[in-house]
Amino acid sequence: MRYIFHVDVNSAFLSWSAVYRLRELGQTQDLRSIPSVIGGDEEARHGIVLAKSTPAKKYGIETAEPIAMARRKCPGLVVVPSDFEVYRRYSKAFMDILNKYSDNVIQYSIDEAWVVFDGYEDVYGDMVEFAYKLKDEIKDTLGFTVNIGVSTQFILAKMAGDFEKPDKVHTLFEDERKEKMWPLPVSDLLYAGKAMTKSLRTLGILTIGDLAHADLSVIESNLGKFGVALWEYANGADIEPEDKEEMTRKGYGKSTTTPTDTVDMETARRILLQLSDDVAARLRRDKVYAGCISVSVRYSDFTHIGKQMIVDTPTSNTTDIYATACKLINAIWDGHTPVRQLGVRATKVTNERYEQLSIWDMDNSAVGIEKDTADVSINAKREKADRAMDILREKMGKDIVKRGM
């Protein structure tokens, strides 16, 4: 039988910062036990709450609100800056434990993943009991807690993991849907964003059960295909995240879910640079080139848009991929509508690299003028820089060197 765990770190950024200070810096005060938040740069006017402790919640502090407002609610609030290097390290350690127990781990974001166990009962015994053991191993080994949702479906496992927190295991099997899932507010349904929830409420749909019993023709006429998809989820349809092998077969992609909404182009481009660099490095590792680059944008209400562009010359160069990604983001995003996830994908992968030449690139014996070697020189320098960075990262770790915009 196939079981699916959804494993989600409780208040990941704050938990990881707390563990880092306790275990690596030798501090004695646990951020999780006092009113504290992880905050953006207040001086740069990006001072919003990225994560909050349980004691901070008692003061009414909310994620994404300005830190200045949070301080007014709680004058003694401890504000700690984000540290994504620490977060990446703890995320990797977390994923390493999951990969130890299954060969099918589907990472959804930096702090959560689905783990598929197909026919593992003979190895681990009762799978719900094993979920408790896995939860405790993560806590004992790494110092932070997780919630685990257990089901036979991806969507139900994800929703179960969002039940009471922290440090809990919950089940949501298909025969428990009516009892545990249908009474929940419709906003709790996976992918039901704020805008969609508001539209559903105008139709008198307040709970997931209301949606499950709604007339499908009414849903389709008012909410379109996305509304139909939500209706199907409420009635038992599942999602099927792509596994790593399938994603590689289709192309080379990388996406990231940001800790808070991205609302300016500079931040978006910085994220696209990191994604482009990752995709390009994997292309170079496999000695292949991409002929098509695409960018995907998922807004805070989970609506999605994407655009692709065929490149003149198949490439594995970070600069080329990033430049194309910037053109695409300019074409599909207004620069201020809140974005929660960005992705870059390279497709039309080939083992051969060719260059599309114009008459100006031909040999001078044909047209009587010398070929301008400036572009060739620039490309050669870029490729040399890419190779140097790849070697450094392979020998000393992925984070040893980073690109600047």
- Spatial CB neighbours of 286, under 8 Å, sequence gap ≥ 6: none
Type and span of the H or E element at 7: strand 2-9
Catalytic option among 112, 174, 383, 394: 112
Give me the sign of the Cα torsion angle 160, 162, 166, 167: positive
Dihedral, CA atoms, 375, 393, 278, 190, nearest 10 degrees? -170
Q: How many CB atoms lie within 10 A of CB 332?
A: 12
112 is catalytic: yes
- Spatial CB neighbours of 374, under 8 Å, sequence gap ≥ 6: none
Q: What is the DSSP letter of 177?
A: I
Please state the φ and ψ torsions of residue 78, each to the nearest 5 degrees: -95, 120
- Spatial CB neighbours of 162, under 8 Å, sequence gap ≥ 6: 8, 147, 149, 188
Parallel, antiparallel, or unpaired: how do β-strands 2-9 and 169-171 relate? Answer: unpaired
Q: How many CB atoms lie within 10 A of CB 348?
A: 14
State the Cα–Cα distance between residues 189 and 81, nearest whole angstrom.
32
Residues catalogued as catalytic: 112
